[in-house]
A and B are shown apart, each in its own frame.
Chain A
Amino acid sequence: MLTKEQKMKLYTNLVRVRKLDEIMVKGVLSGKVCGHWSSQKGQEAVGVGATTFLRKDDYIFFCHRGHGITTVIPKGISPRAFIAEHFSKNSGACQGMGCLHVADMEYGAPGLSGSLGGDFVLAAGMGIAAKMRAKGQVVVCIQGDGTYGRGTFHEAALMAANWKLPIVWGVENNQYMVFTPTSDIFPKENMADLAFGYGMPGVVVDGQDVVAVFEAFQTAIERARAGEGPSLIECKTYRIEPHTYGMVDKRCAGLRSPEEIEPWVKKDPVNLFQERLLKEGVLTQADVDRIDREAIEEMEEAERFATESPAPDPQILKQVLYWK
């Protein structure tokens, strides 16, 4: 059972991530963001539920969508470092070299593979390290549904199950891979069914419900910390925004219909949780307003910081190849 404070924390993180997403959208439109922005709006409950209560020394791998926003922010990376990285500034988490590849090992965030699915095998390796170190660390690896098509998942899942590595595999199933509906490219309704072949638990949860997500991950994380091996959790959610911000919103060759999107907008994870907490009396309208305001202030301040930071010095390229 979650305490009142824990619920507030989950809610606050949902709001912070949402506000940061809005800042990033503005950043893309004003030409400040280097590259693109794949908004994760409407999918925040997955990452936030999975990572808000992780230990600082736990490891996370995240899907490309949102460039890690829903996991690295709850994990502790500052919005300043996140935004500055996207603006390619030297104060960014990777000194402006990575842009969407936000990383900070201090918070157990090793980064993002540009070729999707590259992270599965890395997660297996970190799982081996975590197991050897025997400090009860876990690895949470959340990837998109399309990414689970990669063979690297099979190889990593076999290793993890065979060696009982402390890994939680998360599927953020937003029902699309770019313009292709997932149902057209995966043979089964639930990707969680893949778990059976490896002998690990596989569960499906409502990805709009941050508490349900949290509980499913908590069970799996405890199992992993206890040395009982990996689990697979599929979170059913939906991509509200186009694949990347500003793209025409398609479904296969045609346009995506508003009727398809509308019911999911109604299941917005921030609103759902807010309503629930108001009803439970955990939050008052005043709290809601305050959390909103504080999140906006935090993100706007971070945006100013990033804008004012200097660009990286090209001299840095002399040191990029090797440690020494």
Chain B
Amino acid sequence: MDLTKEQKIRLYTNLVRVRKLDETMVKALLTGKISTFFHSGEGQEAVGVGACSFLREDDYLFPSHRGHAISKTLIKGLPARIILAEHYGRITGCCDGVSGFHTCDMKLGIPGMSGTLGGHFPLAVGMGLAAQLRGKKQVVMVIEGEGTYARGTFHESMIMAATWKLPNLFIVENNQIMGNTPVKIIHPKDDFADLGFGYGVPAKVVDGQDVFAVHKEVQTAIDRARADEGPSLIECKTYRIQPHAVGLPDTLLGRPRTQEEIEVWRKRDPIKLAQKRLLKEGVLTQVDIEKIDGGAANEMEEADRLAWADPMPTDPKEILKKALYAE
């Protein structure tokens, strides 16, 4: 099914919103508003935006740590102010400010984030099982970095999802680097998508810089899942522009990463690519682009201002009292 003009504009706008929020968060880290770290997802926005822009609210989503999931959670409906407030430890954050970057909002189908990578796979299968039992055609999407696909939990989860034909989508956001290690030296094959074959799960490789291509492939998989035809695996090839976490030395195997390699990928920046295409198709004009840019910048500026001004929890001890059990 072809995208309507509105849908295309929505995808483009979402790319820009995510980029602006990423920039806001980098700035927040550098000015000490965010403590510890921020794993910028600059240049990888098309994966999350393409995959999540048309999810249903009651679909479930497990995003990875990259960009602290903003290319997925913002798109699934979590307001920037709430994401930022959580990072700032404010009571208005999605987890009352206790979670750091583990954003979560069950009403939006965002169950939270695992600290140990690869922890999401079995959880997603459990949600797939729940979705299947409930019979409302919800889908469950996991988006993880390629490094994370080496966890044994992936194998166990694929077996379950494929055997029970669960409505799961496994998306590989292959940015070609795991920490400071190029993935080609730790993975035996070019394509992670090849792992699908062993489980009889349809698998595709797609250009992760092209938001429209990502969306098309993911939509096909979603349709399959909603039709009870089982899980799919989609590998999106992209590239990490920033260091693993902002401010860390940008090295590969102990040596500084070459700027040339980064430049090659900057030329394929997902926003630039989408812009070029939509200008050519006449979907957008230069004026529209500036408007979208300005709108996104305003949205994030305001979110940042409000979040920062939000109150801190007044009584941390009270919060910790509720820490362990539901009642």
Contacts and interface: CB of A to CB of B under 8 A. Distances in A.
B159 A155 contact: no
A150 B163 contact: no
A186 B188 contact: no
A177 B163 CA distance: 15
A172 B185 CA distance: 31
A162 to B, nearest CB: 4
Interface in B175-207: 185-189, 194-201
A162 B198 contact: no
Given A150-B156, A151-B154, A188 B188 contact: no
Nearest to B153: A151
Contacts, number: 72
B162 interface: yes
A186 B188 CA distance: 24
B152 A199 contact: no
B150 interface: yes
B159 A153 contact: no
A196 interface: yes
A162 B188 contact: yes
A152 interface: yes
A187 B196 contact: no
Contacts of B188: 158, 161-162, 198-200
A150 B150 CA distance: 13
Contact of A187 (B152, B156, B159, B186): B159
Nearest to B201: A187
B27 interface: no
B33 interface: no
Contacts of B153: 151
A149 B187 contact: no
A197 to B, nearest CB: 4
B162 A162 contact: no
B224 interface: no
A187 B199 contact: yes
Nearest to A184: B163
Interface in A152-188: 152-155, 158, 161-162, 184-188
B198 A194 contact: yes
Given A196-B197, A199-B188, A187 B162 contact: yes
B194 A187 contact: no
B155 interface: yes
Contact of A155 (B151, B195, B199, B201): B151
Contacts of A126: none
A155 B198 CA distance: 15
B152 A195 contact: no
A154 B194 contact: no
Nearest to A149: B159
Interface of chain B, main secondary structure: helix
Contacts of B185: 162
Contacts of A199: 188-189, 194
Contact of B154 (A154, A161, A193): A154
A151 B152 contact: yes
Given A187-B162, A193-B198, A197-B198, A153 B186 contact: no
Nearest to A160: B188
Interface of chain A, main secondary structure: helix
Given A186-B163, A187-B162, A198-B189, A158 B198 contact: no
B152 A196 contact: no
Nearest to A152: B152
Interface in B140-163: 150-156, 159, 162-163
Contact of B163 (A187, A191, A198, A200): A187
Contacts of A197: 189, 194-198
B194 A151 contact: no
Nearest to B150: A158
Contacts of B186: 158, 162
A151 B194 CA distance: 17
B155 A153 contact: yes
B326 to A, nearest CB: 30
B200 A188 contact: yes
Nearest to B194: A197
Contact of A149 (B156, B195, B197, B200): B156
A187 B155 contact: no
A108 B196 CA distance: 35
Contacts of B163: 184-187
A191 B159 CA distance: 11
B188 to A, nearest CB: 4
Interface in B80-116: none
Given A162-B187, A184-B163, A155 B150 contact: yes
Contacts of B201: 187
B199 A154 contact: no
B189 to A, nearest CB: 4
A149 B185 CA distance: 26
A152 B118 CA distance: 13
The 6 A-B residue pairs with the shortest CB-CB distance, nearest first, are A151-B152, A154-B155, A187-B162, A197-B195, A194-B198, A161-B188
10 contacts: A154-B154, A154-B156, A161-B189, A162-B187, A162-B188, A185-B159, A187-B162, A187-B199, A194-B198, A198-B189
